[in-house]
């Protein structure tokens, strides 16, 4: 089952040490989700790969919340589509920075300087906020939830909204008809030495 998680990072309200020179960057915690639009979107999502619906529902939420920046993963590791962030940016007509491995906020939080991981190496762009940023692997190392954090999260309430409540109609344009397993590669052989490897690559595989 898939859950959408657009979430906010907030200064830790329980952290009393955020004072003075020692705290150049306040400690942040993830705000255990305030609102999620799930039910109907999830069922449609499970029936098919309707990524454009995901983008539309997020758009309505974003217009409601009016964040300065939306930060989301670049792709879901089950579906591997890598579309939602970019589609959302298109729908909102906001700037986008995708596959980001470093973010720096500038100009009193009116711009973000983002380093992107591209096929040609690292690229740096600056985008005006509000904007969509999709994260790549090396942006950070997610922390483990602490036990007190987990206990606190249990006491929070989660608001569940339906598409109707958000005023969104959804009609998926993409359907998954079936899934299939790819053919397995035939098992190969072990070689015992460099000489044997080179000989086989040359004579058998004819690749050297």
Partner 1 sequence: MAESLVLIEHHRQQVKRPSLHAITLARKLGGEYALLVLGHRLDGIAASLVSYGACAVVVADDPALAKPLADRYATVIAEAARKRGAKTILGTSSTFSKDVLPRAAALLDAPMVTDVVAIEEMDGSISYRRPINAGSMFAIVKVEGDRRVLTVRGTAFEAPAADAAPCPIKRFDFDAASLPNGTQFISREERKSDRPDLTEARVVVSGGRPLKDKETFERLVGGLADALGGAIGATRAAVDAGMAPNDYQIGQTGKVVAPELYIALGISGAIQHLAGIKDSRIIVAINKDPDAPIFQMATYGLVGDLHRIVPQLIESIRRA
Q: Which of residues 68-107 bind partner 1 (CB under 8 A)?
A: 74-75, 77-91, 93-99, 101
Q: Are the C-beta atoms of residues 37 and 161 closer than 8 Å to each other?
A: yes
39 Cβ partners below 8 Å, 6+ apart? 160, 162, 163
Cβ nearer to partner 1, comparing 32 with 95 = 95
List the structure tokens of 174. Answer: 């993409």
Question: Measured between alpha carbons, how far is 39 from 116 in angstroms, rounded to an integer?
Answer: 34
205 contacts partner 1 (rule: CB under 8 A): yes
Contact indicator for 56, 46 with CB cutoff of 8 Å: no
Closest CB to partner 1 among residues 29, 45: 45
Residue 120 makes contact with partner 1 by CB under 8 A: yes
Question: Which CB atom, from 135 or from 166, has the smaller least distance to partner 1?
Answer: 135
Task: Examine residue 140 and tell whether it contacts partner 1 (CB under 8 A).
Answer: no
Under rule CB under 8 A, residue 135 binds partner 1: no
Single residue of 131, 133, 139, 161 touching partner 1 by CB under 8 A: 131
R_g of the chain computed on alpha carbons: 23
């Amino acid at each position: 089952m898939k859950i959408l998680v657009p979430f906010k990072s907030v200064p830790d309200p329980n952290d009393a040490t955020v004072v003075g020179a020692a705290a150049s960057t306040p400690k942040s915690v993830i705000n255990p989700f305030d609102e999620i639009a799930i039910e109907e979107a999830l069922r449609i999502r499970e029936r098919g790969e309707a990524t454009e619906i995901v983008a539309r529902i997020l758009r309505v939420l974003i217009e409601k919340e009016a964040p300065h920046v939306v930060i989301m993963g670049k792709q879901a590791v089950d579906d591997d589509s890598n579309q939602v962030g970019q589609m959302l940016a298109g729908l909102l007509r906001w700037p986008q920075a995708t596959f980001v491995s470093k973010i720096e906020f500038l100009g009193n939080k009116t711009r973000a300087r983002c380093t992107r991981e591209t096929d040609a190496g690292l690229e740096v762009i600056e985008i005006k906020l509000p904007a969509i940023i999709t994260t790549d692997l090396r942006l950070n190392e997610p922390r483990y939830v602490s036990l007190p954090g987990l206990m606190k999260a249990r006491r929070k309430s989660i608001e569940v909204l339906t598409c109707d409540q958000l005023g969104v109609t959804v009609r998926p344009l993409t359907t998954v008809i079936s899934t299939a397993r790819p053919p397995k590669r035939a098992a190969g052989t072990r070689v015992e030495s460099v000489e044997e490897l080179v000989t086989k690559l040359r004579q058998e595989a004819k690749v050297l």
